[in-house]
Amino acid sequence: MFSFLKKQSPARIIAGGFALVILLGSILLCLPCSVKEGATIRYIDALYTSTSAVCVTGLIAVDAGDTFTPLGQFFLASLIQIGGLGVTSIGAGVILLMGKRVNLKGRNLIRESMNLDSGKGTVRFLKSVFLTTMAFELAGAALSFLVFIRDYPPLRALGISLFHSVAAFNNSGFDILGNYQNLIPYRDSVLLNLVTCGLIFFGGIGFLVIREVIQKRFRWKALSMHARVVLSVSGVLILVGTLLLKLTENISWLGALFHSVSARTAGFSTYALGDFTNAGLLVLIVLMFIGASPGSTGGGIKTGTFFALLQGVKSAATNHSEKAFRYALPPDSFRKAAVITLLALSVVVSGTYIMAVMEPQLDLMDILFEVTSAFGTVGLSTGITTTLSDGSKLLSILIMYIGRLGPLTVASLWYFTRGERISYPEGNIAIG
């Protein structure tokens, strides 16, 4: 078994780890102790919920608050935490807690899963990830408790606050309030809206950026190119999204800001998205497709990919080199960004087509929104998730899985050869 794993690439081990946790999670969510008395859950719905949790999505086939017991909700929160931090990181963390050393293979897996440039200082970085996560989630739970204590008994309010903080920081739109209401009852709570936005934002910019911002003491000029790109693109997307949503929808400025942030792979909502106009849904689709940042708990093609794509287009149009913040972009950044974007579009378009064939009664915009939400591991929905057939749910499970791993990572799983041994003469092809 161990010799087999040693021969596998880090991408395959990570993909296998996520699949194994999803299957184990689906079994745990089916246990009688996980399901409330009087409630029932089919295995396909348990598998869907487990996939949504591990892939930190938030799309739900059954309401978590009405279906699962406190133990079942604990299992769900644990799956979200594992999915957000990454199966590899959790495994390495357990090894460290046991007082053992992480071997070279483990360090390479962590580097791959966290998008680190090198394996140097991997264990130290992993420890900082756990400490950062704990600090943000505890702070978020404490602030959320101030809101939930007004409507629930202390113990229940504490449970909801902890669950909400874990889900928000890991960019997963699950809630345990019941009745499929998400955060709609709290649309006017400024504190809960801002706390949730803060958790989503910091969980979505990535642990590398958080650590760098703290180390550099928030000095913009001292930050690396990666950190500047992530922060600037994230800020612009949030601002533009807020303005466009306020322009197209009859919602408050707070609601526009919240959904602009949430669409960046979190999945919480304070307004019924089924009432949004097509223009507003299109804005959310674009934000969901771009998603969060590399090395974060979120999905999508990532802000770095989007930025590299824009710079490549700008370079081709102006005949100037690709540069930003007094740095030159890596030579292959545009090529890699274009490949990731094309693969992502292929997943979304083909997924939308297949679901449209299986669900002809549904509106195309609703299907496109659902598929993009699944790929971006967002969790927002116009309300069609519970009406999907088993075939569409299986399709959505596959799309969530691809979205969490990344389309390029999934494509590389089939790579077995070490390289081409034959070279060919260069041909010519007309482009444009």
Q: What is the pLDDT of residues 306-330, one digit of tens each?
A: 999 988 888 888 877 777 777 788 8
Is the Cβ–Cβ distance between 282 and 190 less than 8 Å? Answer: no
Classified as helix, coil or strand, 186 is helix
Beta bridge partners of 35: 68
Determine the pLDDT at residue 413: 65
Q: Which residues contact 374 (CB under 8 A, 6 or more apart)?
A: 57, 59, 351, 396, 399, 400, 403
Determine the pLDDT at residue 151: 92
DSSP state of 7: T
Classified as helix, coil or strand, 35 is strand
Domain range annotation of the chain: 2-412
Helices (H), strands (E): how many in the chain? 19, 2
- Spatial separation of the C-alpha atoms in residues 365 and 322, rounded to whole Å: 35
Token readout for 133 is 């996560």
Go through 380-402 and write b for each residue having 16 or more CB atoms within 10 A of its CB, e for each that does not. Answer: bbbebbeebeeebbbbbbbbbbb
Token readout for 378 is 């967002």
Length of the chain counted residue by residue: 432
Among 25, 129, 140, which Cα is nearest to 85's?
129
Burial of 74 from C-beta contacts in 10 A (0-12 / 13-18 / 19+): middle
Among 13, 20, 9, which Cα is nearest to 83's?
20
Q: Which residues contact 33 (CB under 8 A, 6 or more apart)?
A: 69, 71, 72
Determine the pLDDT at residue 1: 47
Task: Please give the C-alpha separations between residue 363 and each of 274, 355, 367, 382, 400, in angstroms, as whole numbers.
Answer: 11, 11, 6, 10, 21
Low-confidence ranges of the chain (pLDDT < 50): 1-2
Task: Please give the C-alpha separations between residue 315 and each of 85, 230, 337, in angstroms, as whole numbers.
Answer: 36, 20, 14
Beta bridge partners of 68: 35
Q: How far is CA 157 from the centre of its chain?
A: 26
Token readout for 98 is 């046991």
DSSP state of 172: -
